[in-house]
Structure formats: C-alpha cells, structure tokens
C-alpha cells in the first residue's frame, strides 16, 4: 500500500533541523478507504498542562512497541490492517533508513493513531531523547487550515517561529529526525471545528527504549468516539 519510492526519492531538508514532507503516499483508492475507515475505537485521553509542553488529544495503539503485533486488529478495516502490516515491514524500515541516513532496520518501533477533537493541541517540543525518527501520516479527506490542527515546523521553542506548516490531508506525511532543536507543534484545533484531525505516528526508538505512550502497568480507560 505505501508507495515507498516516494520516501526513497525525497531529500531531507536541513533547516531548521533534518525533516521532510512527503505527499501522495497511497493510491487515490487506498487514500479514500483509509480516510473513510479511520479507527474510532480503543482511544485514551492524553493530556498535560504546565510542564515542558501542553498537550491534549486522543491516542490509540496500532502496532505495539518493539513487535509486529497489531493492536485491536479485529476492529480494523482491511485497508487499515494492510497499512499496519506495511508499517511493520522490512521494506518500510529500509526505505526510512535510506531517507534519514540512520539504520532503522532493527531498532524498536511503535505506531499510534491520533484523534484531535475541538480544542486539542500539542505544544512546541523536540521529542524525547530516546526517539530517533518519527514519521507522521495524515487521514483527513479535507481540512480548513483556519481550523488549526496543522503540523508546524519551528525554528525554536517560540510557537510563532513557524518555518513550515503541513495540513492533515490524507496522503500527506512528515518525517522528523530527532535532535535537540527539532522543535515542532500541532496548532490548536478551534473549539467550533466540526471535524477531528486524524493522524498516526510511526516512531523509531533507540535500542532498549520502552513506550512512553503506553507505560508498562498502565491500565487506561479506553473509549470510542462518534464517526463524523
């Protein structure tokens, strides 16, 4: 499903850190099916205020940390199962390794799905030090930039220092190579937005890392949300 040649034919940008924007990751048919059957089950609320960054959104596991196990596979459409398998595959890891220049073939990786409803956001941050590379994929059939919900590439921790902005349209994606200055954010979804901002992240970690999204021993209350 993933058109991996688009990853391999892309060059990383060097300013303000190493990153890339890649579009048209799927065929038009697959893009429409992924957007139509975006998961609505087994989400948890993730929020925090007053720390290093403010954040408020909903998260669902897709591929469990360090494995090829697809979470809650019985609730996924065929096209989402296929995408999950692609993201856990050796060819995907090899394509990401060639793009970033980092050997990602055997490091721990996890995939999570995200739903940002009205008011949701993710403050400026450079990702945790145990992360190597994050690939962010989007699944909205349409989006109004005025509604927020865009990935912002920042030149500093100043939320107004926006170098680039990527809308969450299906087929769009961004690759972020983690560094001390890899600042980025998700602009706040406006309170009267009538759609959710939909994405996933495939995150590659340093060897020996554990999941910060799903800490061992955590038993969060999981819930669904209505289809728009």
For the chain, domain boundaries: 5-205
What per-residue confidence (pLDDT) applies to 13?
98
DSSP for residue 87: H
CA angle 13, 203, 68 (to 5 degrees): 135
Taking each helix axis from N to C end, the angle separating 28-36 and 78-87, rounded to the nearest 10 degrees, works out to: 110
Residue 157 in tokens: 């921790």
**16, 183 in Cβ contact below 8 A?**
yes
Please compute, for residue 82, the number of CA atoms within 13 A of its CA located in the half-sphere on the CB side. Answer: 12
Short-list 46, 214, 184, 31, CA closest to 115: 46
Question: Please, what is the Cα angle at 70 between 65 and 133, to 5 degrees?
Answer: 40
**Residue 1: both structure tokens together:** 């499903």
Q: What is the CA radius of gyration of the chain?
A: 16
Whole-angstrom Cα distance, residue 36 to residue 111? 19
- Of 115, 61, 57, nearest to 88 (Cα)? 61
Rounded Cα distance, 95 and 91, in Å:
6
Q: Which of 138, 131, 121, 139 is nearest to 173 (CA)?
A: 138
- The structure's pTM equals 0.95
User: Is residue 64 within 8 Å of 110, Cβ to Cβ?
Assistant: yes
> Which homologous superfamily does the CATH classification assign to the domain defined by 5-205?
q2cbj1_9rhob like domain (2.60.120.620)
Q: Where are the alpha helices (DSSP H) in 69-211?
A: 78-87, 90-100
What is the Cα 67 distance to its own chain's centre? 18
- What SS3 state is found at 147? helix
Q: Consecutive 10-residue runs of the chain (228 residues): their mean pLDDT? A: 94 98 96 97 88 83 96 98 98 97 98 94 93 98 95 96 97 97 96 92 97 91 82
pLDDT at 206: 97
Residue 52 is predicted with a pLDDT of: 64
Contact 137, 175 (CB under 8 A): no
Predicted local distance difference test score (pLDDT) of residue 50: 62
**What token pair was written down for 122?**
């993710």
């Amino acid at each position: 499903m993933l058109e991996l040649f688009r990853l391999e034919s892309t060059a990383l940008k060097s300013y303000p850190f190493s990153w890339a924007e890649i579009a048209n990751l799927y065929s038009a048919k697959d893009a429409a099916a992924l957007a139509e059957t975006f998961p609505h089950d087994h989400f948890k609320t993730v929020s925090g205020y007053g720390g290093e960054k403010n954040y408020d959104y909903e998260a669902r596991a897709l591929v469990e940390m360090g494995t090829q196990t697809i979470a809650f596979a019985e609730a996924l459409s065929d096209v989402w199962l296929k995408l999950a398998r692609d993201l856990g595959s050796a060819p995907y890891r090899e394509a990401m390794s060639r793009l970033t220049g980092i050997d990602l073939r055997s490091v721990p990786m996890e995939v999570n799905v995200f739903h940002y409803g009205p008011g949701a956001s993710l403050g400026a941050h450079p990702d945790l030090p145990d992360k190597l590379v994050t690939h962010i994929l989007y699944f909205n059939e349409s989006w109004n930039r005025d509604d927020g919900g865009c990935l912002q590439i920042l030149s500093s921790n100043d939320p107004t220092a926006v170098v680039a902005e990527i809308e969450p349209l299906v087929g769009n994606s961004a690759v972020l190579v983690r560094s001390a200055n890899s600042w980025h954010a998700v602009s706040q979804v406006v309170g009267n937005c009538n759609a959710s901002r939909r994405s996933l992240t495939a995150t590659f970690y340093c060897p020996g890392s554990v999941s910060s999204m799903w800490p061992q021993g955590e038993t969060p209350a999981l819930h669904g949300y209505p289809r728009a």
